[in-house]
Amino acid sequence: MVAFTHSSFLTRLTQTMLTNLRRWRPFAKLGKPTEQTNFSVPVLCYHSWQLGDNYTDDNHFAMEQDLRTLASMGYQILPTEQLIAVLSGKVCPSNIANRKLACITFDDGKRWDFYDGVRSNGSKIKSFRRILTESQNAVPTHLNGARSLAFVIASPDARNELSQAFSEPPDYWTHDWWKKSAKEGIVGVANHSWDHVHDALKTVRQAENKKGSFFNIETYPDAHAQIAEAQTIIDKIAGKKRISVLGYPYGHAPSYLREEFLPTYGPSIGLKGAMSTAGRAVTNDTNIWDIPRFVCGHHWKTPTEFSELIRSTEASS
C-alpha cells in the first residue's frame, strides 16, 4: 500500500514536471505557438527600377499607395532585423504576436531606393527612402531598426557591366549611398549576392557559367563566391550597420544553400537569415533560411489585390 502510494506520488510528480516543462515555452521554436506568441507577418518586395506611369507599371506609385492602404488597415512596419531576431529565438514572439505588422524590402539596389530622380517623361521619381520617410506618422515603425531593407548586388564590376548592357548612365547602379543609408535607418542594406548570376553578364561566378537562376548555386565554391565574398564587399562599403540577411537572387532558395551552406557557414559570414519570394506570410514555423516574401507586380498587381492579399495573411494567423 505504502509502496503503491509512493509510486503514484512519483508518477503524479513526474507528470506535473513534464506538464510544466511542456508549458515552459519562452520562444515559439520550443513548442507550438500559443495565442500569445502566434504571428503572421507579410514581407513585401518592390523594385525601384520598375518605372512607368501608374500603379501597375511603377513600384514607386505602388508602394506609396500600398502604404496608404496599410495605414487605413491599422498596420505598422516591422524592421526585418526584428523579424529575424524572433525567428532565431533571440526575441520573444509575443513582441510581434497579434499585431498588424508588415516588413518592406527592395531588390537589386538601384539608385532610386535612395535617391529621388526623374522619369523619361520628365515627372519626378520619389525615392523609396523619401516615401518611407514621409509615411512615418501614418505607418509607424514597431520596435527598433530600419523601416525597410535594400538587397544590393555586391560586385561593382557586375553592376557596371549590367548598366552598360542596359544602356544606362553609369550612376544608376553605384554604391555611394550604402553607408549613409545603412546608418540612417530608413533603407537598410543587405546582401543580394555577388553578381545575381545575371544573364546580361558575360561571365558569372558559377563554375560552369550557368546564368539566370540561383538554383545553380549548389556547391561550396560557388556559394562562397556568391554569398561570402559578396558579404565581405558589402561589409567594407556599407560598414557595420548593414543588415545580416541574404536576399536570394530571383527569390530562388536552392536546397544546398537553405539546408547546408547557410545553416553551417551563415553565422560566420555574418548572416542570420535568408529571404526567398515564396509568396506566403512569415509565421512561427518559418525556416529562417527560407523566409518568404510577396513581390509587387507578381503576387499582387492592383490596390484591390494588395488589400485582399494583406487580409488573407491575417486570416492565416
Residues that bind Zn ion (CB under 5 A): 107-108, 249
DSSP tag of 228? I
**Residue 204, CA atoms < 13 Å, CB-side half-sphere:** 27
- 145 versus 249: smaller Cβ distance to Zn ion: 249
Residue where the block lists cell 514607386: 60
Supply the minimum distance, in Å, between the C-beta of residue 146 and Zn ion.
19
Supply the minimum distance, in Å, between the C-beta of residue 229 and Zn ion.
18
Which residues contact residue 267 at a Cβ distance below 8 angstroms, ignoring those fewer than 6 apart? none
Supply the minimum distance, in Å, between the C-beta of residue 44 and Zn ion.
15
Supply the minimum distance, in Å, between the C-beta of residue 197 and Zn ion.
10
Give the cell for residue 88: 532565431
- 86 versus 243: smaller Cβ distance to Zn ion: 243
Using CA atoms, how far apart are residues 305 and 310, in angstroms rounded to an integer?
9
Supply the minimum distance, in Å, between the C-beta of residue 295 and Zn ion.
10
Give the cell for residue 146: 530600419
- 142 versus 242: smaller Cβ distance to Zn ion: 242
Supply the minimum distance, in Å, between the C-beta of residue 169 and Zn ion.
20
Distances (CA, A) of 74 to 42, 55, 138, 143: 14, 22, 9, 16
Residue where the block lists cell 557596371: 160
Region class of 150: left (phi > 0), else alpha (psi between -120 and 50), else beta = beta
Supply the minimum distance, in Å, between the C-beta of residue 293 and Zn ion.
11
Using CA atoms, how far apart are residues 81 and 147, in angstroms rounded to an integer?
10
Using CA atoms, how far apart are residues 108 and 277, in angstroms rounded to an integer?
14
Identify each DSSP E strand in the chain by its residue range: 40-41, 43-46, 76-77, 101-108, 117-118, 124-125, 148-152, 187-191, 245-247, 273-275, 282-283, 294-295
- 63 versus 101: smaller Cβ distance to Zn ion: 63
Residue nearest Zn ion by beta-carbon distance:
107
- 33 versus 188: smaller Cβ distance to Zn ion: 188
Using CA atoms, how far apart are residues 131 and 64, in angstroms rounded to an integer?
6
Residues pairing with 130 in the sheet: none
- 79 versus 249: smaller Cβ distance to Zn ion: 249
End-to-end CA distance of the chain: 51
Supply the minimum distance, in Å, between the C-beta of residue 289 and Zn ion.
18
- 107 versus 113: smaller Cβ distance to Zn ion: 107
- 195 versus 222: smaller Cβ distance to Zn ion: 195
Supply the minimum distance, in Å, between the C-beta of residue 76 and Zn ion.
26
- 93 versus 251: smaller Cβ distance to Zn ion: 251
